[in-house]
Chains A and B, each alone.
Chain A
Amino acid sequence: MERVWHNGFEEIDDQRRGTERPVGVQQRISLRAMGMLKSAKLDTSVTIVTPENIEFSYRLAGPFRRLGAFLVDLLIKIVFLIVLSIFAGFAGLFATIGAGLTSFILLVTSFLLDWFYGMIWETMWSGQTPGKRVFSLRVISCDGRPINGVQAAIRNLLRVADLGVPASIQIFSPEAPPGYIFPTFTVGLIAMTITKRFQRIGDLAADTMVIVEERAWQPVLFKIDDARAAALAEFIPADFVVPLSMAKALSLYVAKRSKLPLLRRQELAKHLADPLISKFGFMSDTSPDLMLCALYLHAFYSSSQQKTGPRHSLSPFKKTVSQGDSSQVVLAAVETIPSQSSNGIWDVMAQPPTSDPTGHSQAERIL
């Protein structure tokens, strides 16, 4: 089991970047920088290679999402201080502690909150503060591991530089009392725009980045209610394998189609559906929208075809490719071999699914 698993990976990796095995993200980045890797997607995501030799990607958090987290944290700090001062006021009222001591505690607490709030939370919650948790953000090292205390300390101490250049209210009205100083975020914003991973100066020094870590959603297959789509899908030749990019386009289309008006759907679907309709020899007035739904069903759902065996009599390809019985056998072989082999890989690698008490409802959700 282990061996097959590894070999599979080496093959995938070797295809992509010559014979080099991945050592870590550092190497990939340097390779990318040297132009040896194919150009990365122009995208706000970052790829991590884990010790399991798996690549997965994170979405990077931009400045505005992070501003939200910053404001939530600020609010928490302010509320905490207010609550504390109310408590201190009560304590002072009942004279359990002196007024000097209460103000000492308040001053020291506000100082600690100012400087160590982010550091302590990010160390404890490995890269999250309450505000970051609300906006499902997390700070991680650039090599993909959770941050350690030192990194949390550096990036939080350098926040003052990122909040700069501080401006005073006196700039706008000279009569205003001194001391009303507010951050402008200029330095942090500039640093974020010119670095690859939206890093502010503190992130650069600590070698960290902020990623979006969304809560789970369902690994959906979309349900298509239209019975005609299922019927049409039966007529798509079983040997037609939906290419990867088309499968992607199909599922994006199906995800969005419920929000589109009918005319718009037809307009969008036309470009992909029309050539296929003529290719499969369907009626030319077949709805393009319906055609794409049928293709979606064909691509992702196991149809009755597979359960009852291939129905080659319906394949229009057969007429052009084959004349006799012998080629029908070839076609059948071509179609069944990949599905058999993928079955084989599956059985070798994955454990059999264990019994699930809620299996029924989940199957329904999938469908």
Chain B
Amino acid sequence: MKAEDILEKRKAQWSKLEECLARKRVGIRKSPWTSEQVLEFSELYRSACTDLALAQAYRLPPQTVDYLHNLVGRAHNHLYRSQKYDISSWWNIMFRDAPQQIFRDPCVHVATLLFFGLFFLSALIAWNPQMFPDFETRVLKEAQIQQLEENFAEEIGTQGNFDRYVTMAGFYIRHNTGIGLQCFGYGPLILPTLYTLIYNAVILGTSFGYMARSDVDAGKNFFEFVTAHGPFELSAIALSAGAGLRLGLGMLATAGFTRLASFKIQARRALPVISASGALFILAAFTEGFISPSPLPYALKAFWAIMSSTAMMFYFVVLGAPRESNS
């Protein structure tokens, strides 16, 4: 048997397999494939596999072998797929693994302390102009402070200002969630994560502290705007920075693994934390989109903030407390 005969014999089946590949992928639900087609496809795939395995025995030319590698590879990708999102495993990740991991992960502790510590510290300093004059102008530029005051100069909820506050909600969703995701994404490099975290903690803290001064008129509107979504958003930033630090730590502290293996392991460990952080970001975004710029009374927004803080407290502490079974 020479290559010519084999090609002649097999070509028809290979081109049939090509036709199958041109169709949509095999699906589990709502599959566009009939059962006969699936059977035919798997049969064709297996025989192409056999051809590839025996290519050496058949003495096929290298171009044909390349073609077979390609064909089998594409058919393999067409046929096999891993589960995309399994609901039950996600429930476990979100409500069992994530809080436990967050509760005992030192990286999360460090990131949270760093973020909220600097946030409150700079807020306190900026709030007290008698003891620390000019602090806010050193951190923020004069123009930025003016911009901030201007943004919140008008009352939330009156008809004319609705547009302005909705735009701002969009801007802050983009900006703050971006900061959080950057903290995670820069994680493997560690330093950019720390820089982003510290920088934004100081900036945000200073803005909050400045706005809390009694002589700043825009302060009332500012706090009315940020109260509802603040708890979700700030916690989410701290959490994602914690997950990012965990990634970076995997590169440094390898605990006996190779550097690469340790990195992969820590990435798996960071996954529940970043998922929880993602969920918080989504909650924050919805709050920011629908509640913060709305003309609802301030009491309701404050109530929402208290409820969300309580829910997070429950999530982190009660669900996160170490369990007998886990240890």
Contacts and interface: CB of A to CB of B under 8 A. Distances in A.
B274 A107 contact: no
Nearest to B84: A149
Q: In the complex, which range does the number of interface residues on chain B fall in?
A: 35 or more
B245 to A, nearest CB: 13
Contact of A146 (B69, B81, B170): B81
A114 B178 contact: yes
B147 interface: no
A51 B45 CA distance: 12
A85 interface: no
A247 B61 contact: yes
Interface in B14-72: 14-16, 18, 21, 25, 43, 46-47, 49-54, 56-59, 61-64, 67-72
A101 B163 contact: yes
Q: In the complex, which range does the number of interface residues on chain A fall in?
A: 35 or more
B104 interface: no
Contacts of A309: none
B166 A157 contact: no
Nearest to B1: A342
A43 to B, nearest CB: 13
Interface stretch (B110-118, B183-191, B220-228): B183-191
A158 B183 CA distance: 10
A271 to B, nearest CB: 19
A105 B285 CA distance: 12
Contacts of B267: 154, 205-206
Contacts of B274: 157
B56 A353 contact: no
B171 interface: yes
A314 B162 CA distance: 97
B4 interface: yes
Contacts, number: 236
Interface in A1-51: 5, 8-9, 12, 48, 50-51
Interface in B132-173: 162-167, 169-171, 173
Contacts of A218: 67
Contact of A350 (B10, B52, B69): B10
Interface string A131-161: 0000000101100111111100010011111
B11 A366 contact: yes
Contact of B49 (A52, A127, A342): A52
B67 A219 contact: yes
A299 interface: yes
Contacts of A148: 82-85
B235 interface: no
A334 to B, nearest CB: 16
Interface string B262-303: 011001000100100000000001000100000000000000
B273 to A, nearest CB: 12
Contacts of A105: 170
Contact of A111 (B59, B61, B70, B177): B177
B76 A50 contact: yes
Nearest to B181: A115
A103 B170 contact: yes
A144 B79 CA distance: 12
Contacts of B8: 363, 366
Given A98-B166, A100-B163, A351-B47, A161 B188 contact: yes
A213 interface: yes
A87 interface: no
A115 B187 CA distance: 16
B7 A158 contact: no
B5 interface: yes
A118 B274 CA distance: 17
A244 B52 contact: no
A353 B166 CA distance: 66
Nearest to A45: B69
Interface in A196-233: 201, 204-207, 211, 213-214, 216-221
A349 B50 contact: yes
| Residue among A154, A214, A303 having the largest count of chain B Cβ atoms under 10 Å | A154
Contact of A366 (B4, B71, B80, B285): B4
B299 to A, nearest CB: 24
B323 interface: no
Contacts of B163: 98-101
B15 A342 contact: no
A325 interface: no
Given A187-B189, A213-B73, A366-B7, A101 B12 contact: no
Contacts of A201: 188
B43 to A, nearest CB: 8
Given A146-B82, A149-B85, A216-B18, A356 B12 contact: yes
A240 interface: no
Contact of A301 (B2, B14, B25, B72): B2
Interface string B64-108: 100111111110110011111100000000000000000000000
Contacts of A355: 12
Nearest to A296: B61
Contacts of A123: 84
B3 interface: yes
Contacts of B80: 50-51, 145-146
Contacts of B13: 351, 353-354
A103 B18 CA distance: 47
A100 B165 contact: yes
Contacts of A251: 61-63
A104 B187 CA distance: 29
Contacts of A126: 25, 77, 81
Contacts of B187: 158, 161
Contact of B188 (A8, A149, A158, A342): A158
B306 interface: no
A326 interface: no
29 contacts: A8-B53, A52-B46, A54-B53, A99-B163, A104-B170, A123-B84, A141-B82, A145-B81, A145-B82, A158-B187, A158-B247, A160-B185, A164-B189, A205-B247, A205-B264, A211-B73, A218-B67, A220-B64, A221-B3, A221-B4, A221-B64, A251-B62, A300-B4, A302-B5, A343-B1, A353-B10, A353-B12, A354-B13, A362-B15
Given A108-B173, A302-B1, A342-B58, 4 more contacts: A100-B162, A111-B173, A165-B192, A204-B260
